[in-house]
Amino acid sequence: MTRQVSPQGLSWFQDARFGMFVHWGLYSILGKQEWVMHTDRIPVPEYEKLALQFNPTKFDADAWVRTAADAGQKYIVVTSRHHDGFSMYDTALSEYKVTNSPFRRDPIAELAKACSQHGVKLGFYVSLLDWHHPAYRFRAESGLAWADYLGFLHGQVHELCTQYGELAVLWFDGDWPHAALNEDNAYFLAGGSFEYPALYDKIHELQPHAVVENNRHAEPLPGEDLQGFEQDLPGENTAGFNTTTLYGLPIQICMTLNDHWGWSRHDRNTKSVQRLVHLLAKSASVGGNLLLNVGPTPEGEIPTLHQERLREVGRWLARNGAGIYGSRAGTLPPPRGCVCTRRGDRHFVHVLDNISDCVQLSGMSEPLQQARLVASNTLLERESLSPDGVSLYLPPDRRDPYATVIELM
């Protein structure tokens, strides 16, 4: 039987509710997002030259982790190797790695140290797909077999699970069973099974408290601990590849701060603080974590505007985090313009849209004794509407500019 995450590891993860995703690699040099090797049809020998240029002299692991901590994010998931095949840590299994670039340093080792100092947990993105590895893409030319790639993939996961301390998440990407292959992307095709049962057992043995997610856009497999959604909330499919079926597992929603995962020089479509707060509240209301992405620059810095937006979300959480951290999916019918979360028998209403001066609740199983604003501890005036309904008056001068959180008692 395939192992799963420990109960305490899963509980910690669900309580955390908010994490930072980081897409960073050679592609940042080109400033055209993380798929540029594919979208611009860059041959392997040409793309490899970027490794000779990679020297992010402004990289400061402590600054990254402090930004996450200031934002109220409890864990960081960073790309250890993306589809371009370049390893962002000092792997012993490839020479195509960051420590062979002019930078020379292992940024993931530095992040692991900074995370331990700031009480933020670390996790890794691992690409199953590899546009560079000869045993994945060029078996006929190299004489290598699929087993050679599996040894590399499973070996890197073993390295990540044993060299950087306790982990929170292993996040896999690049195996999309429902995605159509054509002449343009035929080289994405794997040469065989990824041997998930053995891979997941290895992770759960070495890192028993780490959750495993695989971004397959399909029903989770045994050994996977989460159901993931990419650029969509559960039940939505604006991205065109998310399933709308829920399979009863804890949920994680990954979203970009702008329109791209890796740094994109001309992307100015940064989400507002209000939009980010609403995404966080909506994610929590369906029992999900929000994994919010940043794409650092080739110099190694999180863009200043993204830092500012994140810190403002953190300030909102400092006032209203009681309705997010440790919460589970809401069980009360949400009023119009609101979502609900709960912590045990405590219910929270997140007012996202100020439709009127009153919040009208219905379907309450027990009489409401009190209602208070989480940010200020102000008690709200209430009026019974029916045996299971009540109206709460929300003074305009007490509303939060992003989302007002009410605790029901």
DSSP code per residue over 335-378: PTTEEEEEETTEEEEEE-S--SSEEEE---SS----EEETTT-P
Please tell me whether residues 134 and 224 are part of one structural domain.
yes
Query: What gap in Å lies between CA 50 and CA 41, rounded to an integer?
Result: 15
Which of 259, 291, 322 is the last residue before a domain boundary?
Answer: 322
Please tell me whether residues 127 and 273 are part of one structural domain.
yes
Whether 222 maps to a domain, the answer reads: yes
Please tell me whether residues 268 and 358 are part of one structural domain.
no
Q: How high is the pLDDT of residue 303?
A: 98
Amino acid identity at 226: L
Please tell me whether residues 209 and 309 are part of one structural domain.
yes
Average pLDDT score over the chain: 96
Query: What gap in Å lies between CA 233 and CA 254, rounded to an integer?
Result: 9
Number of residues assigned to the chain:
409
Percent of the chain residues topping a pLDDT of 70: 100
CATH of the domain at 394: 2.60.40.1180
Which of 300, 322, 344 is the last residue before a domain boundary?
Answer: 322
Q: How high is the pLDDT of residue 197?
A: 97
293-338 pLDDT, tens per residue?
A: 999 999 999 999 999 999 999 999 999 999 999 999 999 999 999 9
341-356 pLDDT, tens per residue?
A: 999 989 999 999 999 9
Please tell me whether residues 283 and 341 are part of one structural domain.
no
Whether 95 maps to a domain, the answer reads: yes
CATH of the domain at 201: 3.20.20.80
Whether 254 maps to a domain, the answer reads: yes
Please tell me whether residues 191 and 340 are part of one structural domain.
no
Answer yes or no: are the C-beta atoms of 406 and 351 closer than 8 Å. yes
Please tell me whether residues 216 and 252 are part of one structural domain.
yes
Answer yes or no: are the C-beta atoms of 41 and 248 closer than 8 Å. no
Query: What gap in Å lies between CA 409 and CA 390, rounded to an integer?
Result: 13
Q: How high is the pLDDT of residue 106?
A: 98
Please tell me whether residues 171 and 200 are part of one structural domain.
yes
Considering Cα of 263, then 71, then 211, then 207, what sign does the dihedral take? positive
357 band by pLDDT with thresholds 50, 70 and 90: very high
Q: How high is the pLDDT of residue 144?
A: 98
Domain range spanning residue 340? 330-408
Those residues whose C-beta lies under 8 Å from the C-beta of residue 302, and which sit 6 or more positions away, are 63, 64, 67, 294, 296
Whether 139 maps to a domain, the answer reads: yes
Whether 144 maps to a domain, the answer reads: yes
Answer yes or no: are the C-beta atoms of 291 and 254 closer than 8 Å. yes
How many CB atoms are located within 10 Å of the residue 327 CB? 25
Query: What gap in Å lies between CA 198 and CA 214, rounded to an integer?
Result: 14
Whether 1 maps to a domain, the answer reads: no
Query: What gap in Å lies between CA 141 and CA 153, rounded to an integer?
Result: 20
Query: What gap in Å lies between CA 328 and CA 14, rounded to an integer?
Result: 8
Answer yes or no: are the C-beta atoms of 297 and 322 closer than 8 Å. no
pLDDT beyond 90 at 365? no
Read off φ and ψ for residue 75, nearest 5 degrees.
-155, 160
Cα 281 to Cα 21, 123, 340: the distances in Å are 18, 23, 8
Query: What gap in Å lies between CA 202 and CA 196, rounded to an integer?
Result: 10
363 band by pLDDT with thresholds 50, 70 and 90: confident
Please tell me whether residues 300 and 335 are part of one structural domain.
no
20 band by pLDDT with thresholds 50, 70 and 90: very high
Nearest residue to 124 via CA among 133, 132, 115: 115
Which of 297, 322, 347 is the last residue before a domain boundary?
Answer: 322
Please tell me whether residues 253 and 380 are part of one structural domain.
no
- Average pLDDT score over residue span 277-303: 98
- Average pLDDT score over residue span 28-37: 97
374-388 pLDDT, tens per residue?
A: 999 999 999 987 777
Please tell me whether residues 95 and 149 are part of one structural domain.
yes
34-80 pLDDT, tens per residue?
A: 999 999 999 999 999 999 999 999 999 999 999 999 999 999 999 99
245-263 pLDDT, tens per residue?
A: 889 999 999 999 999 999 9
Please tell me whether residues 81 and 196 are part of one structural domain.
yes
Q: How high is the pLDDT of residue 235?
A: 81
pLDDT beyond 80 at 32? yes
Whether 2 maps to a domain, the answer reads: no
135 band by pLDDT with thresholds 50, 70 and 90: very high
Nearest residue to 160 via CA among 97, 217, 91, 228: 91
Nearest residue to 350 via CA among 409, 408, 271: 408
Number of domains in the chain: 2
Whether 271 maps to a domain, the answer reads: yes
The conformational region for residue 75 under phi > 0 = left, psi -120 to 50 = alpha, else beta, is beta
Cα Rg, the chain, nearest whole Å: 22
Read off φ and ψ for residue 193, nearest 5 degrees.
-75, 145
pLDDT beyond 80 at 243? no
Percent of the chain residues topping a pLDDT of 90: 92
Q: How high is the pLDDT of residue 366?
A: 81
- Average pLDDT score over residue span 17-33: 98
Amino acid identity at 407: E
